[in-house]
Structure 1
Amino acid sequence: MPTLEICVEDAVGLQTAQRPGVSRIELCSALALGGLTPSAGLMHLAAKSTVPVYAMIRPREGGFVFAEAEIDQMLADIDAARAAGLAGVVLGASLDDHTLDIATLKRLSEAAGSMGRTLHRVFDLTPNPLMAVDQAVELGFERILTSGQAISAPKGHSVLKNIVHHAAGRIEIMAGSGVRVGNARDLLRDTGVTSLHASCRGPSVGQACRVWDLGFGRLASRTSGRIIDQMLAILAEETASADA
């Protein structure tokens, strides 16, 4: 059966995503910025999850060329994720030319030890994605999260298909960015990916305009159990169709 990873950014989302059939939770903060490292408190809560949780390790928004001080911060965050008892971490780092920063990724991977590791969408900036697949395999990553180097996975379906073919089962290719109930089935059928990554968020209700008028931010959406269930139903239908 294809697998589903849910990315969440808060304690309510973490609770909502713990549903039978969900394979993994990616724990972040600031999903609107592409996901940043979650707080120590949220990691502590996530350790009690019934679904394996991987923490995003990303110290700031923007690109993935990190200063030494930022790498030190990432190493400390990996230590915090391991101390909390999380199953894995989500990592990425690049050089100025957007190729993978192998030296930094080795340091971060060594710090993670036996924890599971996902290479995040730094992959989508690499000039040679097939070479980056080989490098991720050599570094021991379990999977690559990618949109097929496009603004969304549906727009990157042809590259995703090529990546899946090149990976040839050596590493899991997980399609993410813009994955919705309306396109999940086509992504699975057209690209050959067997894993989807989605936020499954629906509109948030009950927040007064005064909150964002004073600069506290607008909570426009939250993790939706209904949408997760719809995604899981699609995956189950695709499995049944393949087995028929």
Structure 2
Amino acid sequence: MTWAQQTHEPQKGDDGLLEICVDNAEGLRAAIEGGADRIELCSALSVGGLTPSVGFMQWAGRQPIKVSAMIRPRAGGFCFSGDEVDIMKREIDAVRQAGLSGAVLGATASNGALDSDVLATLCRHAEGLDLTLHRAFDVVPDQRDALETAIGLGFTRILTSGGKATAVEGCERLAALIEQSRGRISVMPGSGVRPETASLLLERLSVTEIHASCAVNGPEQDPHLVELHFAARQMLQTDTDTVRRLKRMLSESRVRRSA
């Protein structure tokens, strides 16, 4: 059993949980140093996150933090073919073999609703892992119905911006979803969550966990790499101080609520 599997989710009275999404080893180390409680492990965060490599999963499984891996085999929409579902099942196998604590899943049907058949197949295959429904939830036509579907499938939480580009913009819908959930599932705000925006979310929403990248612009890349399309001019990188500030805000919010 890895260290990550021995840790616990926040219970009543805990500080609250900060999940940081990362797509490289440097980002994971920065998140740990800043006090993150859980990692969403990805590749290609520039397109919303794809399945990380097996090597990255195995390396992350040796780090002192809970890690959930994104299971998304390609960029674009969330309507997956039978072949892609088979690939996703194999990626779930890699998550388990790496000793990670969870998997992040999502799939939609041709009508835009959650694909309960595909998700049921994936959830059964991921039995024993901590399951997050990712932001495929934000493209469904009826989030109230989708929340009930997620509960029925056994997800621990839903990562959502309330169907908007950012969680702040979707704050009203997030509040309604939290009220509907009645503690049966965690509604975890994500997208555009930073210290500058988190205060509004934490004041208006009763949440026990939040999701962020805490990324800042890194140094400019080698112009030749940019010219050959191997890199963007400025690459985003996880910032330890931003993680630390956001964790402090979450902790202080929980203290105020419990006072």
Place the TM-score, normalised by the shorter chain, in its bin: over 0.9
- Deviation by residue 1:117-171 (Cα, 9 ceiling, x = unmatched): 0000011111111111111111100000000000110100000000000001000
Identical positions, percent: 43
Partner of 2:213: 199
Give unpaired runs (5+ residues) of structure 1.
none
Task: Tell me the number of residue pairs that the alignment of Structure 1 and Structure 2 aligns.
Answer: 244
Separation in structure 2 between the aligned mates of residue 53 and residue 19 of structure 1, nearest angstrom: 15
- Deviation by residue 1:97-124 (Cα, 9 ceiling, x = unmatched): 1111011001111111101100000111
Superposition pairs of residues 41-56 of structure 1, within 5 angstroms:
41-56=55-70
Check whether the contact 2:51–2:72 (CA below 8 A) recurs between aligned residues.
yes
Amino acid at match of 1:162: A
Higher relative contact order (CA 8 A, sep 6+): 2
Superposition pairs of residues 177-188 of structure 1, within 5 angstroms:
177-188=191-202
Superposition pairs of residues 54-133 of structure 1, within 5 angstroms:
54-133=68-147
1:237 aligns with 2:215: no
Q: Residues 192 and 240 (structure 1 numbering): CA distance in 2 closer, same or farther, change over 3 Å?
A: closer
Amino acid at match of 1:55: A
Partner of 1:31: 45
Q: How far 1:194 moved relative to its partner? A: 2.5
Normalised by the size of structure 1, how large is the TM-score?
A: 0.97
Partner of 2:185: 171
Check whether the contact 1:91–1:120 (CA below 8 A) recurs between aligned residues.
yes
Partner of 1:228: 243
Partner of 1:148: 162
Query: Would you identify which runs of 4 or more consecutive aligned residues in structure 1 move more than 6 Å?
Result: none
1:16 aligns with 2:30: yes
Q: How far 1:63 moved relative to its partner? A: 0.5
Moved more, 181-190 or 137-146: 181-190
Q: How far 1:32 moved relative to its partner? A: 0.6
Q: Residues 49 and 224 (structure 1 numbering): CA distance in 2 closer, same or farther, change over 3 Å?
A: same
Check whether the contact 2:34–2:242 (CA below 8 A) recurs between aligned residues.
no
Separation in structure 1 between the aligned mates of residue 220 and residue 148 of structure 2, nearest angstrom: 47
- Deviation by residue 1:190-239 (Cα, 9 ceiling, x = unmatched): 13222210000112115222211111022521011011011011112212
Amino acid at match of 1:35: G
Normalised by the size of structure 2, how large is the TM-score?
A: 0.91
Check whether the contact 2:34–2:240 (CA below 8 A) recurs between aligned residues.
no
Q: Residues 120 and 3 (structure 1 numbering): CA distance in 2 closer, same or farther, change over 3 Å?
A: same
Amino acid at match of 2:123: S
Check whether the contact 1:161–1:193 (CA below 8 A) recurs between aligned residues.
no
Q: How far 1:10 moved relative to its partner? A: 0.6
Q: How far 1:2 moved relative to its partner? A: 2.6
Check whether the contact 1:174–1:197 (CA below 8 A) recurs between aligned residues.
yes
Separation in structure 2 between the aligned mates of residue 216 and residue 35 of structure 1, nearest angstrom: 18
Check whether the contact 2:34–2:243 (CA below 8 A) recurs between aligned residues.
no
